[in-house]
Each structure stands twice: as structure tokens, then as C-alpha cells.
Amino acid sequence: MSNLQTLIGYQAIDKNLLTIEKELAATEEKKKYAQARKFLKNAQTTLDGYENKAVALSGELSRLEAQYNEVAAELKEFSEIDFSELEENEGELAYLKKNAQGLADTLRSLKRDLASVKERMDAVTKDYKALKQKTIAMQKQFKEYKEKYAAVAKGKEAEIGSVRAQLAAMEKDIPADVLERYKGRRKEGLWPVLVPLKGDRCGFCSMDLPRAAISKLNEKGVIECENCHRLIYKE
């Protein structure tokens, strides 16, 4: 590829852009902005989860309360029975007492369940409130640092513009398909994008290239490493 030198030069200029991008990414403003953005992105899902949980628990609470009232009413009926009238009938008496005992046990168990549900509801409410509070703080941080970061980025605008102009001027001398691949890899965060062939290996990850790939390299000037996806050229 006669345009290989242009492509190599292109990457050298692009490195300046990368340096500026890294500088920007390392600023406190960018870090705090990104931190808040990431937090807020997940917070809503978690808050929704808490809300759903609270709704489910509240449903369970109503169900248990209804059950409790029902059993309590039934037990009250037993307390109104005049057992003295039944003293003659031991079988009947024992049966009723056993029933009353069963209802009392059920009531105790329902009471425990109710307490446990209430406890879980309190815990969810507490978590929800804490997260809500943090969300409000992070919303403030997001707004503040979005603006601060925009100001920092603006300070680098001219420099970035100049590098981009240099890159744009070179692009017409690079085959469109190669340029597209280069830009795609660069966008994915791979660096360097372009690496020299070392022996029969990729100059970045050292993977052995098959013979077919080498002949394709000789023919096309640039191939892509199947392992690390860098673009390989022959020096």
C-alpha cells in the first residue's frame, strides 16, 4: 500500500489526540461527572426495586392482617361458650378445647409472621430513604460537574480542533475501508490500532499469523489480527 506511510503518520498524529483525551479523562471534573452519571444510571433501577418490594410486602401484610382478624374472631367465639354446660360431655369439651388451642397457636404464628413482615418493610423503607438521599446528592454533583467538565473540555477545544484538522487532511490518502476499520478500533479503545508485523507474528499480541494471512498482508498492505484486532502492516 503506497498510502501506508500516511496511515502510520495518521496514527502518530492521532496519538496527540489520544493524549488530550486521556488528560481530560484524568481530570477531577471528568471523574466526578462520570461517577455521578454512573450512579444515577443504576440508582433508578434500584429505587424501583425497593418500591416493588415494598408494594409486595404491603400486600403480604394486608393478607396476614385479614387472616389474623379472622382467626381472632373465631377464637373469641370459643371464649363465649359456656363450658360449664358441657361438663357432662367430656368428649365434646375436649374437642372444643383442642380447637381453641389450635386457633391460639395459629394466632401466635400469624403474629410472628406479621412482625417479620413489618421488620422487612422497615428495612426496605430505610434502604429506600438512604438511596433516595444519596441520589439527590448525586444529582447535584452531576449537574455541577457536568458544567465544570464542559468548561475544562472547552479549554482544550482549540487544541483538539487543530489535531482533528491535521487528521482530516490526511484521510483522503488512506483507503476508505482501512480508515473505517482504524476508526472503529480506535473508538473501541484499542491502542495502538496499527502495529508492525514482527516475523510472522502480530506486533502487539504476538499471535502467529497463518500463511494465508501473511500473503493477504503482502497483497493488501494491512490485515487485521484475529486475536487482538489490531491492524497489522509490514515494515
Binding footprint of Zn ion on the chain (CB under 5 A):
202, 204-205, 207, 225, 227-228
CB of 194 to Zn ion, least distance (A): 12
Contacts of 134 (CB under 8 A, 6+ apart): 39, 43
Q: How many other C-beta atoms lie within 10 A of the C-beta of residue 210?
A: 11
**Residues recorded for the chain:** 235
Smaller CB distance to Zn ion: residue 96 or 190? 190
CB of 25 to Zn ion, least distance (A): 25
Q: Is the Cβ–Cβ distance between 53 and 124 less than 8 Å?
A: yes
Distance CA 48, CA 65 (A): 26
Note every long-range contact of 38-47, with CB atoms under 8 Å and residues 24 or more positions apart, other chains counting. 39/134, 39/135, 39/138, 40/135, 40/138, 40/139, 40/142, 43/131, 43/134, 43/135, 43/138, 46/131, 47/128, 47/131, 47/132, 47/135
CB of 206 to Zn ion, least distance (A): 7
Smaller CB distance to Zn ion: residue 34 or 207? 207
CB of 225 to Zn ion, least distance (A): 3
Smaller CB distance to Zn ion: residue 76 or 198? 198
Smaller CB distance to Zn ion: residue 75 or 228? 228
User: What secondary structure letter does DSSP report for 199?
Assistant: T
What is the helix, strand, coil percentage profile of the chain, to 5?
A: 75, 5, 15
3-state secondary structure 149-171: HHHHHHHHHHHHHHHHHHHHHHH
CB of 201 to Zn ion, least distance (A): 8
Residue 132 exposure: Cα atoms within 13 Å on the Cβ side? 10
Smaller CB distance to Zn ion: residue 53 or 229? 229
CB of 203 to Zn ion, least distance (A): 8
Smaller CB distance to Zn ion: residue 170 or 207? 207
CB of 211 to Zn ion, least distance (A): 17
Q: What are phi and psi of 224, to 5 degrees?
A: -105, 135
Smaller CB distance to Zn ion: residue 110 or 209? 209
